[in-house]
Amino acid sequence: MITPEKAGAGRVPALAVLVVGGWLGFLPPLQAADPVVSNVRAAQRPGTQWVEIAYDVADADGDKLTVSVAVSDTGGASYSLPATSFTGDVGPNVSPGPGKRIVWDAGKDWPGKFSANMRFRVTADDAGVPPPAGMALIPAGSFTMGDSLSEGWSDELPLHTVSVSAFYMDKYDVTKALWDEVYTWALGHGYGFDNAGAGKAASHPVQTVTWYDAVKWCNARSEKEGRVPAYYTSVAQTTVYRTGEGDVQNDWVKWTAGYRLPTEAEWEKAARGGLSGQRFPWGSTISWSQANYYSFWENGKPAYAYDVNPTEGFNPAYATGDSPFTSPVGSFAPNGYGLYDLAGNVWEWCWDRYGAYPTGSQTDPRGPARGLHRVDRGGGWLDYAFHCRTAYRNGNIPTYRYDALGFRSVLPSGQ
């Protein structure tokens, strides 16, 4: 879209844009209380790769808003350009009013490119019921999913662009304390689990739970808080899934209701924390100061050049007493979205059945309709740096459980 300025070549090419405001022209008429975006305009800052986007937004309720930007280089045929580097009046807690401004770093997200068919779409959402404490908003947007560094397994390819709607995610893995609180409530309200869950301490992640356990627990958490559950026993979505090992299908899920496991795409977008082209949630190298994992060495040096530990083995801060050597949640710095422990500590169950990636772009994918295995992501306390990469994929049968496998939950935006 925008190319760097070259000596003697004059200024950077002007940006050819059409701007689209809010939901205008895209969705049915809004109710009076819904936010309305208008007067959207965009211009490239002369001589730079920065794009300035201005807009007005009104909301009858005066609620704080979550504002998102989608970018198209196909004349609006699809809004799948992986643009994440926005600053200004974007994201959560934007007040309604005129003269709002956003700046997009196009040079960072889409370097060395030019298009005369750019379109920008600005949307606003009033957040509805605030999410519970301990969750972070993952803004809507597109990202490149897969191994952009060409160093992983074949199932991490092909690279493909995925657009994901906004959602809330637990900042931390579900702790043993939170698991126990919901689990105890659930047993008295018609729920049955295959495993009671384990954890080294109340502040450590729960582990040794199956995919079925995690899904039912999400439903119980929803019902405990008075929310509509997400998972049901059939496409009719009338009987809440509370017992047994149900082969829950994609169309048995109320995707706009209740706590649930993240889809694989939601997990990877969240784990990347707004970064692109990086190996881990924070950057390109890993050490014990950033994650709880096993530093694997060969021939007197780390087996992976991006593992920069001075010695090999388990993280010594947590390899005490009996295994598992999990760490308390939040022991390391968060990523750009305020999420903790997305590399190492425990693997995290996702919703999707494990399967090959598609070749084209996708919007809110939910994985294959059939398959024996469910995805888990992130690596654990006994895994190598290779397995803790954000692009690394793993799958297990849904009855599998062990002491380095847990989960975290998500809520749809507006819940």
Q: Does the pLDDT of residue 10 top 70, yes or no? A: no
Residue 35 has a pLDDT of: 86
Mean pLDDT, residues 20-49? 65
- Locate CATH 3.90.1580.10 in the chain: 132-415
SS in 3 state form for 71-131? EECCCCCCCCCCCCCEEECCEEEECCEEEEEEEEEHHHHCECCCCCCEEEEEEEEECCCCC
Quick one: fold of 132-415?
Answer: paralog of FGE (formylglycine-generating enzyme) (3.90.1580)
Give pLDDT tens digits for 231-270. 999 999 999 999 999 999 999 999 999 999 999 999 999 9
Residue type, 162: V
Give pLDDT tens digits for 197-217. 999 999 999 999 999 999 999
End-to-end CA separation in angstroms for the chain = 37
Q: Does the pLDDT of residue 19 top 70, yes or no? A: no
pLDDT confidence tier of residue 415, bands split at 50, 70 and 90:
low
The residue that leads in pLDDT, 368 or 3, is 368
pLDDT confidence tier of residue 274, bands split at 50, 70 and 90:
very high
Give pLDDT tens digits for 74-89. 888 877 787 888 899 9
Residue type, 110: W
pLDDT confidence tier of residue 115, bands split at 50, 70 and 90:
confident
Residue 75 has a pLDDT of: 85
| H or E element that contains 53 | strand 50-58
Give pLDDT tens digits for 321-336. 889 999 999 999 999 9
